[in-house]
Homo-oligomer: A and B are copies of this chain.
Amino acid sequence: MEKFKVTFHPDNKTVAIDKGKTLLSAAISLGLNLNSSCAGDGVCGRCKVLIKKGQVSTLPTGRITAEERRQGLYLACLTTALSDIEVEIPETSRLDLSKISEEEAYLSRLKGVYSTPESIEKSEALIKKDIFLHSPLATKLYLKLPKPTTEDKISDLERLYREIRKIKDVPIMQTGLANIRRLGSMLRSADFKVTVMLGNRNDTTEIILIEQGNTAKNNYGIAFDIGTTTISGQLIDLNTKKVLGTKASFNQQATFGSDVITRIVYAQKEEGLERLHHAVIDGMNDIIQDLIRENNIDLNNVTCCMCAGNTTMIHLLLRVDPTYIRRDPYVPTANFVPVIRAQETGIKINPRGLLSCVPGISSYVGGDITAGVLACGMDREEDLCLLIDVGTNGEIALGNREWMISAAASAGPAFEGSGVSCGMRASKGAIQKVKIDKKNLSASFTTIADEPPRGICGSGYIDILAEMLKIGIMDKNGKINDIKSERIQNGEFGREFVLTDNIHINEVDIDNLKRAKGAIYAAASILIKHMGLDFKDVKKIFLCGGFGTYVDMENAITIGLLPDIERSRFRFVGNSSLAGAKEILLSADAIHKAEDIARKITYFELSTDAKYMDEYIAALFFPHTDLDKFPSIKF
């Protein structure tokens, strides 16, 4: 096979690739993170690179303008080398995978993970203290064993079991050979005073590890929310239940596609599954390292992880092929994953530590929703509740302690900044809050971390749409009105409203956002109708995710993303997936509760429901075709 050398600048990294391999795959093999939200299908137009030297072959695309072509720009995913070449990666084509600093995350209230414990307690929606018995996934018990005597000669292992059973009711106890091999000498050198680490493993108790002396006070766990866009981890003292720190980082899988579908497609490529798996594991390990370093904790004292995530993320975390998730009839390999050793996935905590996943509901409603329902206490509510999680996808759950139903809206990642021309994730420089002056149509805005504006994130778009609608820049259909203003311009993709140099919103963007918000509203609406109810019957709406902590509620209702009901019924619950994972990490009761929830929730398939399409089309207006549904919205 003929090979060509590809050198990337300004990184100055070179790789030899087989003829026919794309420049995107060359960049990936060097660990260079190009933006590519469509996973290399030539659709998103984000992986533009500049060919400086050499011959290439490319496929036709509407994502490169004539001007760009003249400049020498190509889509890396559609272009192959015909000779040794030199390539420049523009800054705008790079995926920002920088860590999310605490300050920055606090400012953006990114996914709500930085809510203080106080603010969580204040929210009546979130778990009340001590609902669940304190019984973490891994527990340490300090034991002073009676020494063997002629009268008491049971074996070392049975002696250990006997002592544990004096303290805890353990019907089925398991131990690995590694522990048994060390037991005899350890007990004697520790003068029969040892600490056992007990793991709650699939309804049995495993002696995970035995340590000399009293180490019971050093026992930490990590709760994870593994989002398609963001991974959040929280270090928890398993003895005191105290949260010692929280970290978030972007999911590095974004290099291989911005939503779950493109990642499933990528997983089927050569080494695709391996790469996606390592991307999420590396991100989680980085978070663990940061957390233990800042808290001065020995990695060996981190004994367990609890992971909540959508079904595809959990498959990729475990390196389980997600292919069948997107093949009719959309069946995952596992919704209930057995507890395993973290090491089996590559997660680096205590080598014998455990990893558990919050059980999922279906292919498109995962354990993050189970955890969210648990954290919000929906399963304990007498009142009718609605949970809306607008992340990279949009998931809805409706119900109360009697029944529950859920659906996944194919909203797409527009609110995460994907598929919109100036969209970006809620990271540094993202326009997050916008006001438009009625008179001169000038936009005033704030950006995350007060950096110079680089793009617009979800909450910014919601504000912009609502403002444009209220002021009359945009009609109910999403068309920009023909207003004479330097702010309104005609572009390649229809009229556009200019916020500032290089940052604008065009009619194609509006259309994408409209479809995203329509999909979510329609999903909630169809579930409610399916149950013979009305939005008025909903007593509590839990808004989860970044959405649930930062969005301007009034603006979200104005554009028809959220239903127009009494404002006091809304609860902003932040990262309820992480909050739930933490509870489940801390209690076997909560594990069982999560299993009950996952089994109890009926999954409603929207894609095959004829009425859903009607609902969806009706929602493709701002706020809605039927204005009676939005009585308080007047303009």
Contact = CB atoms under 8 A, between A and B. Distances in A.
A175 B323 CA distance: 21
A340 B179 CA distance: 12
A153 interface: yes
A153 B204 contact: no
Interface stretch (A216-224, A330-338, A612-620): A330-338
A157 B336 contact: yes
A332 B177 contact: no
Nearest to A607: B150
Interface in A320-357: 320-321, 323-324, 328-338, 340, 344-345
Contacts of A484: none
A125 interface: no
Contacts of A329: 148-150, 153
Contacts of A334: 155-158, 180, 183
B203 A336 contact: no
Contact of A330 (B153, B181, B183): B153
A338 B201 CA distance: 15
A242 to B, nearest CB: 31
A608 interface: yes
A98 interface: no
A472 interface: no
Nearest to A174: B202
Interface string A146-177: 00111001111111000000000000111111
A188 B344 CA distance: 25
Nearest to A159: B331
B153 A320 contact: no
A335 B176 contact: no
A570 B181 CA distance: 41
How many copies of this kind of chain does the complex include?
2
Contacts of A149: 329
A335 B155 contact: yes
B335 A154 contact: yes
Contacts of A331: 148, 153-156, 159
Contacts of A593: none
A185 interface: yes
A362 interface: yes
Given A204-B202, A329-B150, A155 B318 contact: no
B180 A337 contact: yes
A603 interface: yes
Contact of A333 (B155, B336, B344, B362): B155
A319 interface: yes
B608 A176 contact: no
A230 to B, nearest CB: 25
A177 B318 contact: yes
A324 B156 contact: yes
A260 to B, nearest CB: 16
Contacts of A345: 177
A172 B603 contact: no
